[in-house]
């Protein structure tokens, strides 16, 4: 089966392409560097010829509110239009657990818009909402600086390894469209501030992490369970203590 992965050279996309090829699918890694640009439509008609499935794991290069909305709306419209013309029978998009509860954030308003376009399209679809990645814990600290300290909310989340994200997306991509949303997450729950504190400690990063009830997440206020998936979520296997000893953890700390 020919499966086109949009964002195929990124963290999740590259792992997904490898997993699909291991299952003997014809997985095509597509990105601007390979001549496929979803914003302009360049290369889409050519790469989608004969494709059964398109998996969109791309992300906006700019998180400013207007820019990120423009990226997801334009990119998704172009993809769905070309997919319908090419006879693609399954559109899979990677989204985020809690997206519909985070509309205060410009980034998540853009993800909501993306999901709406997918649901309104005639192309059968599956939306995969994943929890935060272990690989992004340091980055979460970086964007949560207030003065010389990291300010984070003391709420629950259930992060997962990028490897498990790719596995979860892979299993859905090779199956029938659900025409709905599937949640995937990690096997353990943590407090956001506590796990980021632990992650920084493994990196010998001296920054102090403060539990702050007023701290925001991508510009949005959080309740206790905003970032936690529902009871029917598909859970990955990689636990934080196992992940943090692996080369991926060292690479993510650079």
DSSP bridge partners of 185: 235
Strand-strand pairing, 190-191 and 156-157? antiparallel
pTM beyond 0.75: the answer is yes
Q: Give the range of the structural domain holding residue 36, as residue numbers without chain letter.
A: 2-252
Supply the CATH number for residue 144's domain.
3.40.50.720
Strands (E), 200-249: 208-211, 234-235
Burial 197-231 (b: 16+ CB within 10 A, else e): bebbebbebebebbebeebbbbebbbeeebbbbee
User: Cβ neighbours of residue 87 under 8 Å, at least 6 residues apart?
Assistant: none
Predicted pLDDT of residue 63? 86
* Domains held by the chain: number: 1
Low-confidence residues of the chain: pLDDT under 50: none
Which contacts of 239-248 are long-range, i.e. CB under 8 A and separated by 24 or more positions?
239/186, 239/187, 239/188, 240/134, 240/159, 240/186, 240/188, 240/190, 240/195, 240/198, 243/134, 243/161, 244/134, 244/199, 244/202, 248/135, 248/161, 248/162, 248/163
Task: Report the Cα–Cα distance between both ends of the chain, in Å, rounded.
Answer: 37
Which tens digit of pLDDT belongs to each residue from 190-201? Answer: 999 999 999 999
Phi, psi of 190 (to 5 degrees): -135, 170
Query: If we measure between CA atoms, which residue out of 6, 19, 7 comes closest to residue 174?
Result: 19
Predicted pLDDT of residue 254? 78
Predicted pLDDT of residue 185? 98
Residue 152, sorted as left (phi over 0), alpha (psi -120 to 50) or beta, turns out to be beta
Which tens digit of pLDDT belongs to each residue from 132-159? Answer: 999 999 999 999 999 999 999 999 999 9
Query: If we measure between CA atoms, which residue out of 138, 146, 247 comes closest to residue 199?
Result: 138
**Rounded Cα distance, 216 and 193, in Å:** 12
Predicted pLDDT of residue 250? 82
Predicted pLDDT of residue 209? 98
């Amino acid at each position: 089966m020919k499966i086109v992965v949009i964002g195929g050279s990124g963290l999740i996309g590259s792992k997904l392409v490898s997993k699909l090829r291991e299952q003997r699918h014809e997985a095509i890694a597509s990105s601007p560097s390979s001549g496929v640009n979803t914003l302009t439509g360049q290369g889409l008609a050519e790469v989608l010829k004969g494709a059964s499935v398109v998996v969109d794991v791309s992300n906006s290069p700019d998180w400013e509110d207007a820019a990120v909305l423009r990226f997801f709306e334009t990119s998704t419209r172009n993809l769905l239009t070309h997919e319908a013309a090419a006879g693609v029978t399954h559109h899979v998009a990677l989204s985020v657990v809690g997206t519909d509860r985070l509309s205060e954030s410009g980034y998540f308003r853009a993800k909501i818009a993306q999901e709406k376009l997918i649901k309104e399209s005639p192309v059968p679809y599956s939306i995969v909402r994943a929890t935060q990645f272990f690989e992004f814990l340091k980055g979460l600290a970086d964007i949560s600086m207030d003065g010389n300290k990291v300010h984070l909310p003391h709420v629950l989340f259930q992060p997962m390894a990028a490897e498990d994200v790719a596995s979860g997306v892979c299993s859905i991509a090779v199956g029938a469209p659900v025409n709905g949303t599937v949640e995937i997450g990690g096997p353990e729950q943590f407090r956001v501030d506590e796990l980021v504190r632990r992650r920084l400690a493994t990196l010998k990063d001296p920054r102090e992490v403060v539990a702050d009830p007023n701290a925001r997440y991508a510009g949005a206020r959080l309740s206790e369970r905003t970032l936690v998936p529902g009871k029917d979520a598909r859970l990955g296997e990689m636990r934080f203590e196992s992940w943090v000893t692996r080369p991926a953890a060292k690479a993510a700390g650079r």
